[in-house]
């Protein structure tokens, strides 16, 4: 008995201390309440005023700031004419998968005049994320920063910056973005490229009618500041630089990285990069600038350049001084793959990490364009792709089709048949020279709402292989609800005998979005420890349910634990049902039965 007591007493003390620690963490965590009103707001850019869909009348939308461990409660009221959802890009939705936001995946869209409340807790993440609409092309203007500070009492793993500034890179169309994508949906042709890029919503000095509103970032000499750079563009990888200033990268996608210094950043759509900048230059004005990285041959892109101004506070010009133009940075060429690759391959975790080494699920996904034959009876105006076809896109030759009446999460929870199948292929149905001359017989994908099941706790490796079907493109891949390690990337066809030796299993970067290079590949690993429906999504050019997967690549991972993918409370299940009951029979104002 004495021996037992000698063991039990330390154990009791240990558990008591654990409980105290949990209570202390709970006491320091806060709940933040926000109201998002989705509404049309007059916004003037490039000499034209458009009724732009915004949040609370702001473009970009409000910046949300929380601490690691805090809870966000965001009530979204839809006063716009379009259906909408909000996705919290990069947030690990631990047992709150219904709050993730992609329409018809975790919820039905919020219809005009309706509301929906998102509630989730930030767990184990620090750095920069962002939020955006996840319905059609509303993301073009409905987006904002989500800043996660360390827990109260904790500090950054680098000297505390004097100030922190979100830098949101975006795209602007001199038109209604919904009209742009609807035209592409109707014709089967690629959507028009943007008319401008923006920094914090403003195009900058190099565009017409814009210089008076160029974004200004004020600084003092001799201070170190933190820039939280977010690529909120729908489609385009972007270079970013600040004239005459070095940037020290300290974080990416809300994970810290081993610091390194660079003069230029390259961010894929959806990616974030935290950089320290020291104001050690002569007092003046310096341009921040961003423009496209576009190495795909023959693919159209917006070749303009957006600017903001880093302004030393004493550099302002008085009424009798001579104005000087800001210093312009040296940006890489649009197709400078060497610079882009040198940058992306510098990312490392700050220390050794636990990368899965034994793999339970070894998946190989081809990602690329496709061309669908013109449907029988369709007019030529509906088939304006090459040679009278319609553009499509696919993974493993499957072109994802959004459900029309139920979200996938609701369909699973309520056992609704016929909404999805679980037969997504783990490998390409046909092996071919993925980055070479691809036979036309492989150009047409098969439509379907197909999921791939992952057992809870499975250690997963995914090879993401770009293809040159019709033409090669870059492919930003975002995995909802998860972070993953990027253990290698390269060009050409992935060869396991040759390329496995390149795997970084010591300190690979932890990301939520990867950029698969043009005519190249990337390999990611993660543990399926977050039950729910998760999207492995590529370039989000079109999210309309009216056409199967046009420039939109979706693979849905269904991660299940025992017989339930997620423990839904009755109130949450009711909320899911309510959201879809508002939707039944409608899709963006179009009756579901008339969609196809």
Q: Is a pLDDT exceeding 60 seen at residue 546?
A: no
Q: Which residues contact 66 (CB under 8 A, 6 or more apart)?
A: 30, 32, 72, 122, 146, 147, 148, 149
Let me know if residue 595 belongs to a domain.
Answer: no
User: Is 51 strand, coil or helix?
Assistant: strand
What pLDDT, on the 0 to 100 scale, is given for residue 392?
87
Q: What is the DSSP letter of 594?
A: G
Let me know if residue 8 belongs to a domain.
Answer: no
Instruction: Give the length of the chain.
Output: 596
Burial class of residue 162 in the structure, from the number of CB atoms within 10 Å of its CB (0-12 exposed, 13-18 middle, 19+ buried): middle
Q: Is a pLDDT exceeding 90 seen at residue 218?
A: yes
What pLDDT, on the 0 to 100 scale, is given for residue 174?
97
For 253-265, what is each residue's pLDDT tens digit? 999 999 999 999 9
Q: Is a pLDDT exceeding 60 seen at residue 578?
A: no
What six digits make up the tokens of 567? 């423990």
For 501-526, what is each residue's pLDDT tens digit? 999 999 999 999 999 999 999 999 99
Rounded to the nearest integer, the mean pLDDT of the chain is: 87
Q: What is the mean pLDDT of residues 1-7?
A: 50
With pLDDT > 90 as the criterion, what percentage of the chain qualifies? 68
Q: How many CA atoms lie within 13 A of 159 on its CB side?
A: 9
442 — pLDDT class (breaks 50, 70, 90): confident
Q: Is a pLDDT exceeding 80 seen at residue 545?
A: no
Let me know if residue 484 belongs to a domain.
Answer: yes
Nearest C-alpha neighbor of 299 from the set 335, 268, 351 = 335
What six digits make up the tokens of 263? 């003069």
What pLDDT, on the 0 to 100 scale, is given for residue 473?
85
Q: Please give the tally of structural domains in the chain.
A: 3
What six digits make up the tokens of 167? 């830098």
Q: What is the mean pLDDT of residues 552-577?
A: 47
Alpha helices in 400-554 (DSSP H): 408-413, 496-499
End-to-end CA, the chain = 75
Indicate if 293 and 440 belong to the same structural domain: no
Indicate if 180 and 285 belong to the same structural domain: yes
Let me know if residue 120 belongs to a domain.
Answer: yes
Output the pTM of the full model.
Answer: 0.89
Indicate if 136 and 214 belong to the same structural domain: no
Q: Is a pLDDT exceeding 90 seen at residue 307?
A: yes
With pLDDT > 70 as the criterion, what percentage of the chain qualifies? 83
Q: Is a pLDDT exceeding 80 seen at residue 296?
A: yes
Q: Specify the CATH number for the domain of residue 337.
A: 2.60.40.420
Nearest C-alpha neighbor of 111 from the set 534, 542, 585 = 585
Cβ–Cβ < 8 Å for 438, 544: no
Who has greater pLDDT, 253 or 455? 253
In what helix (H) or strand (E) does residue 564 lie, and over which residues does it extend?
none
Please give the backbone phi and psi of residue 481, each rounded to the nearest 5 degrees, phi first. 80, 0
Which residues face 477 on adjacent strands?
514
Indicate if 98 and 213 belong to the same structural domain: no
Indicate if 213 and 337 belong to the same structural domain: yes
Who has greater pLDDT, 378 or 62? 62
Q: Is a pLDDT exceeding 70 seen at residue 556?
A: no
Which residues face 387 on adjacent strands?
none
For 149-190, what is each residue's pLDDT tens digit? 999 999 999 999 999 999 999 999 999 999 999 999 899 998
557 — pLDDT class (breaks 50, 70, 90): low
What pLDDT, on the 0 to 100 scale, is given for residue 577?
56
Q: Say how far apart CA 191 and CA 292 lie, in whole Å.
A: 17
Q: Say how far apart CA 170 and CA 167 lie, in whole Å.
A: 10
Indicate if 184 and 86 belong to the same structural domain: no
Range of the domain at 409: 361-565
Alpha helices in 467-584 (DSSP H): 496-499, 570-581
Let me know if residue 98 belongs to a domain.
Answer: yes
Q: Say how far apart CA 431 and CA 438 lie, in whole Å.
A: 11
Q: Where is average pLDDT lowest: 49-53, 96-100, 221-225, 559-563?
A: 559-563
- Residue after which a domain boundary falls, among 155, 182, 216: 155
- Residue after which a domain boundary falls, among 299, 315, 347: 347
Indicate if 484 and 518 belong to the same structural domain: yes
Q: Say how far apart CA 221 and CA 537 lie, in whole Å.
A: 42
Indicate if 90 and 203 belong to the same structural domain: no
584 — pLDDT class (breaks 50, 70, 90): very low
Indicate if 170 and 151 belong to the same structural domain: no
Tokens 């793999």 belong to residue: 359
Indicate if 443 and 494 belong to the same structural domain: yes
Let me know if residue 174 belongs to a domain.
Answer: yes
Q: Is a pLDDT exceeding 90 seen at residue 318?
A: no
Let me know if residue 581 belongs to a domain.
Answer: no
Let me know if residue 1 belongs to a domain.
Answer: no
What pLDDT, on the 0 to 100 scale, is given for residue 19?
57
What pLDDT, on the 0 to 100 scale, is given for residue 471?
82
- Residue after which a domain boundary falls, among 108, 124, 155: 155
For 111-134, what is each residue's pLDDT tens digit? 999 999 999 999 999 999 999 999
405 — pLDDT class (breaks 50, 70, 90): confident
What pLDDT, on the 0 to 100 scale, is given for residue 298?
83
Q: Say how far apart CA 400 and CA 445 lie, in whole Å.
A: 10
Q: What is the DSSP letter of 314?
A: G
What pLDDT, on the 0 to 100 scale, is given for residue 455?
87
Indicate if 147 and 174 belong to the same structural domain: no
What six digits make up the tokens of 89? 């890009």
Indicate if 399 and 536 belong to the same structural domain: yes
Residue 547 Cα distances to 181, 183, 185, 187, 572, angstroms = 11, 12, 7, 11, 30
């Amino acid at each position: 008995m004495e021996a037992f007591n000698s063991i039990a007493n330390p154990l009791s003390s240990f558990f008591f201390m654990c409980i105290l620690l949990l209570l202390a963490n709970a006491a320091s965590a806060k709940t933040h309440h926000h109201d998002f009103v989705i509404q049309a707001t007059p916004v003037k850019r490039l000499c034209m005023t458009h009724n732009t869909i915004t949040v609370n009348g702001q473009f970009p939308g409000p910046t949300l700031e929380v601490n690691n461990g805090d809870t966000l409660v965001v009530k979204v009221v839809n006063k716009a004419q379009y259906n909408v959802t909000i996705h919290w890009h990069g947030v690990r939705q631990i047992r709150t998968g219904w709050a993730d936001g992609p329409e018809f995946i975790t919820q039905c869209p919020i219809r005009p005049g309706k509301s929906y409340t998102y509630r989730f807790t930030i767990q184990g993440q620090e750095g920069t994320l962002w939020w955006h609409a996840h319905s059609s092309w509303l993301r073009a203007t409905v987006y904002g920063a989500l800043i996660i500070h360390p827990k109260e009492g904790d500090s950054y793993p680098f000297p505390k910056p004097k100030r922190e500034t979100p830098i949101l890179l975006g795209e602007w169309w001199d038109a209604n973005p919904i009209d742009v994508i609807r035209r592409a949906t109707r014709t089967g042709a690629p959507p028009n490229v943007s008319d401008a890029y923006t920094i914090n919503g403003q195009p900058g000095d190099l565009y017409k009618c814009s210089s008076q509103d160029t974004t200004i970032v004020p600084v003092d000499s001799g201070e170190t500041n933190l820039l939280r750079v977010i690529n909120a563009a729908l489609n385009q990888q972007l270079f970013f630089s600040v004239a005459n200033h070095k940037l020290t990268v300290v974080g990416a996608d809300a994970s810290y990285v081993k610091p390194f210094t660079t003069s230029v950043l390259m961010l894929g759509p959806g990616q974030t990069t935290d950089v320290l900048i020291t104001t050690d230059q002569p007092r003046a004005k310096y341009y921040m600038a961003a423009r496209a990285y576009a190495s795909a041959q023959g693919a159209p892109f917006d070749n303009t350049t957006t600017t903001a101004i880093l302004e030393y506070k004493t550099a302002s010009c008085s009424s009798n001084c001579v104005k000087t133009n800001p210093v312009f940075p040296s940006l890489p060429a649009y197709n400078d793959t060497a610079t882009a690759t040198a940058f992306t391959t510098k990312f490392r975790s700050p220390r050794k990490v636990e990368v899965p080494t034994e793999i339970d699920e070894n998946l190989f996904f081809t990602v690329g364009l496709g061309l669908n034959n013109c449907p029988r009876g369709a007019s030529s105006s509906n088939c304006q792709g090459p040679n009278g076809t319609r553009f499509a896109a696919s993974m493993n030759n499957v072109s994802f089709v959004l459900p029309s009446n139920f979200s996938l999460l609701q369909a699973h929870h309520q056992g609704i048949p016929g909404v999805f199948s679980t037969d997504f292929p783990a490998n390409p149905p046909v092996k071919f020279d993925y980055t070479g001359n691809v036979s036309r017989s492989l150009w047409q994908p098969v439509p379907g709402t197909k999921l791939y099941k992952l057992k809870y706790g499975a250690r997963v490796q995914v090879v993401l292989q770009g293809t040159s079907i019709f033409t090669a493109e870059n492919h930003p891949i975002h995995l909802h609800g998860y972070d993953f390690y990027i253990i290698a990337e390269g060009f050409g066809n992935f060869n396991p005998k040759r390329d496995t030796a390149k795997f970084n299993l010591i300190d690979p970067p932890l990301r939520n979005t990867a950029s698969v290079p043009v005519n190249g590949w990337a390999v990611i690993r993660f543990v399926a420890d977050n039950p729910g429906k998760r999207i492995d999504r590529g370039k989000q050019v079109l999210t309309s349910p009216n056409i199967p997967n046009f420039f939109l690549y979706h693979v849905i991972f269904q991660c299940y634990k025992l017989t339930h993918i997620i423990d839904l409370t009755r109130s949450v299940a009711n909320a899911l049902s309510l959201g879809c009951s508002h939707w039944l029979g409608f899709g963006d104002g179009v009756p579901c039965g008339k969609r196809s």
